[in-house]
Structure 1
């Protein structure tokens, strides 16, 4: 797929998108794809597949810096993250298989409904900064299930894992918000690497844009993580809820346009 002309505007926009995505990635423990993809499509005129593939490539360095930032404060659960990643890789294959068999409109509205429930619960359940994520038989099975669901949604809707994993770890596993974010970012790395390799083979990645966005995002990811550490847990939940409202609105608009089409 062809990319837009790589002039000064192209470079500056990629850098600006990266700075914004990196801040959100560090602050919320997400990949930033919900910002990268629409901006690449709307401003630079990327094809949807090319934007998604480029975003996934940019997430690799961004998530890596985010993990290092959270690890410095001990806010990464390494083994649970790998369990989640294993489930997500399998789930993504199921999601891509289901993609041609299920109604995208129903799926999008269902996901919007899920986000609305999460947004409400974020004002009810305030995480403890001391809460951990112990690895037991029950939690391992739960993490595998969560990884599978995350992967399926990623394959079906193209949403980043952090949007599902972070609130699920907080609300269902009682994990602290910081540990949930750091673990989510670690989970994304192997998933993003695997997906990027496949996208490169299919020509669905603008490597120059991915490098510009990814490298510039790295400069603000640590800042986002630093802000997250110093935020009151309730304030962090409120900001995350606002971010989820933005994502839910995006999904609702896509579902509405699909219905009208």
Structure 2
């Protein structure tokens, strides 16, 4: 294995580890790592990052299915919408210059990471928020343990799928930072189920985007395969220690690293 492939596998392991420890937050760092670590452009890095994040998310989702905590109907619905919209994002990505694309990615990263930091800070100071009393569009049927499908629920999940699919194709992110807040806001699922369902959506949407990128001839498999293998290894290792180290402090650290990476990416694009 060449030094380049070993570096790719190592960077992938970092993404898998973050994915395991932060609950689907690692995908947003995949593109900056590929840009700075392997010298790829945003357009080149996006499908490679999606391949790694998608494979690692699939492993996490399968483990969640075994535990019975994946809401697979909701995951398949959100993913189906995302897969339909993702090619539009990919089409836009190949028609935008690298500089505005990098700046746009940096803005998305900063917004997502600031939100993660604020939520973690509130949890440190006030503990986990109490369950909200107001009605949500998607609630579990207590007798069946499944989500009740209503028009407001379908509307909320459709919007979530559209946004996740667009960002997946355009910026090469799995969309966990969109899906997890959406499921938290629109459903009454517990956090373990939300994360597992999010991983299932990420795996499905990423698969669709990778297939689209391959058909368009823009998938760099020589970089993508070792990166994906490393991500799976990092995910499995991270799951072994997640219950010891995961928490709001780690979320804060991840957010700070994400903001720094975003600023470096923006500086590199402008420079």
TM category (shorter chain) comes to 0.7 to 0.9
Deviation, 1:153, is 3.0
Out of 17, 42, 56, the position equivalent to 2:36 is 42
Distance verdict in 2 for CA 1:214–1:153, change over 3 Å = closer
Counterparts of 1:169-180 in structure 2 under 5 Å? Answer: 169-180=183-194
Where does residue 134 of structure 2 map in the other structure? Answer: none
Alignment match, 1:4? none
2:224 is matched with which residue? 210
CA contact (8 A) 1:56 1:195 kept: yes
Task: Decide which of 161, 165, 168 is 2:179's aligned counterpart.
Answer: 165
Aligned-residue CA RMSD in angstroms? 3.4
| Aligned partner (choices 239, 242, 248) of residue 250 of structure 2 | 239
What's the counterpart of residue 135 of structure 2? none
Residue-by-residue CA offset, 1:199-218 (whole Å, 9 max, x unaligned): 22333222132221222322
| Partners of 2:32 and 2:262 within 8 A in 1 | no
* Deviation (angstroms), 1:21: 1.6
Give 1:161 shift: 0.7
User: 1:78 offset after TM fit, Å?
Assistant: 0.9
Q: Following the alignment from structure 1 to structure 2, what is the Cα–Cα distance between the partners of residues 16 and 111?
A: 22
2:60 matches 1:66: yes
- For 1:216 and 1:157, the matched residues in 2 are separated by 21
What pairs up with 1:57-206 in 2 under 5 angstroms?
57-96=51-90, 105=103, 109=107, 112-113=110-111, 115-124=113-122, 126=128, 134-137=147-150, 138-206=152-220
Comparing 156-165 and 191-200, the one that deviates more: 156-165
Instruction: Name the TM-score, length of structure 2 as normaliser.
Output: 0.74
Given that 2:90 and 2:170 are in contact with CA atoms closer than 8 Å, whether structure 1 keeps it comes out as yes
- 241-250 or 192-201, larger mean C-alpha shift: 241-250
- Further displaced range: 174-183 or 114-123: 114-123
- Equivalent residues of 1:62, 1:214 under 8 A apart: yes
Taking the aligned partners of 1:152 and 1:201, their CA distance within structure 2 comes to 18
CA–CA separation in structure 1 for the residues paired with 2:105 and 2:36: 24
- Kept in 1, the 8 Å contact 2:106–2:263? The answer is yes
Q: Is the 8 A contact 1:122 1:238 kept in 2?
A: yes
Contact residue 95 and residue 154 of structure 1 kept, 8 A? yes
CA contact (8 A) 2:71 2:193 kept: yes
More divergent stretch after superposition (137-146 vs 167-176): 167-176
Question: How far, CA to CA, are the matches of 2:62 and 2:173 in structure 1?
Answer: 23
CA distance in 2, matches of 1:39, 1:98: 22
Q: How many residues align?
A: 250
